[in-house]
A = this chain, B = another copy of it.
Amino acid sequence: MGRDRLDTVSIANRGLNYGDGVFETMRVHRGALPLWPQHLARLREGAGRLGIAVPDVDFIEARIADMVSAVDAGVLKLLLTRGEGGRGYAPPADAVPTWMLSLQPLPEVLAGLRVHPCETRLSMQAALAGIKHCNRLEQVLGRAEAVRAGCDEGLMQDLAGNPVCATSANLLVLRDGRWRTPAVETCGVAGVLRAWLLAQDLVEVAAVPPEGLADADALALCNAVRGILPMRALGAREWSPHQATDELQARLAMAYPMFQHAGSKP
């Protein structure tokens, strides 16, 4: 099962043809992946949901160590597909999964995000919700909208108009002194950092209605690469920096020093 790291894949790869795979995008910090156990758990969950075997984890971990041991800061992407071939959509019984690693530079950390309310909606699909699969055209279309609007990110709603998440981050909404995040049972991704915030009881899952953002006290986004990022604007609505966001960032940085940054401070 263990293969050497790939730089190319066959055009028969099912990841290329059908998005038939899952991935993780992970922060590298001082030669390691501090959130690796959580990423691995989600990878297993996603692969299990799709019926893709997870290759030898010891071997993958050894290759990851080779790649990141000398890296101070960066992003490592792990992509796992069902492998090659099969006649049409039917997964081949004997498919050998393909996995790939690629190292990318750390993106710049923005002090406050300008977020575009996307017109592209997230469809409801319980079989795929939560996992980080490779069918990402909705996110591609949403992010393209955000870029056209000159924004840093795009906020996506479900078909009923309820805010769910950004194209590549989960949504945190502060109301009445509590941070809330929408459920991801029918669409959206169950982010690794979102899961940590929930487990620490710093955030709770709660429905956010369509009108539930404009009058929020503060909004933030979170993901496992950039940590917690305050939102400065959603469309025309703007927010000032909020102490609760600073405090949430500080709690995270205590557990994971890689997320220590100037944050929302002016």
Known A-B contacts A89-B143, A89-B167, A135-B135; A81 and B16 likewise in contact (beta carbons under 8 Å): yes
A123 to B32: give the CA distance in the assembly, Å: 38
Contact with B along A1-42 (1 / 0, CB 8 A): 000001111111111111111010000000000000000000
Which of the listed residues A12, A82, A167 has the most CB atoms from chain B within 10 Å of its own CB? A12
Answer yes or no: A266 CB below 8 A from chain B CBs: no
A73 interface contact, C-beta 8 A = no
Whether B18 and A16, one on each chain, are in contact in the complex, defined by CB atoms closer than 8 angstroms, is: no
Q: Which residue of B lies closest to A125 (CB)?
A: B123
A7-B6 in contact (CB<8A): no
Known: A79-B17, A138-B125, A168-B89. A10 touches B11 (CB 8 A): no
In the complex, A142 has a CB within 8 A of chain B: yes
Which of B16, B17, B144 contacts A91, CB < 8 Å?
A: B144
Asked whether, in the complex, the Cβ of A124 is within 8 Å of the Cβ of B16, the reply is no
In the complex, per-residue mask of A204-229: 1 if CB is within 8 Å of any chain B CB, else 0: 00000000000000000000000000
Given contact pairs A10-B8, A89-B168, A90-B147, A133 touches B137 in the complex (Cβ within 8 A): yes
In chain B, what residue has the closest Cβ to A124?
B123
Question: What are 10 residue pairs bridging A and B, where the CB atoms are less than 8 Å apart in the complex?
Answer: A7-B10, A9-B11, A15-B17, A18-B137, A18-B140, A20-B137, A50-B141, A88-B168, A91-B144, A121-B125
Query: A17, B144: Cβ atoms under 8 Å?
Result: no
Given contacts A8-B10, A135-B136, 5 further A-B contacts (CB under 8 A): A17-B79, A18-B137, A90-B140, A90-B146, A125-B138
**Contact status B12-A15, CB under 8 Å:** no
Q: Is A140 touching B20 in the complex (CB atoms < 8 A)? A: yes
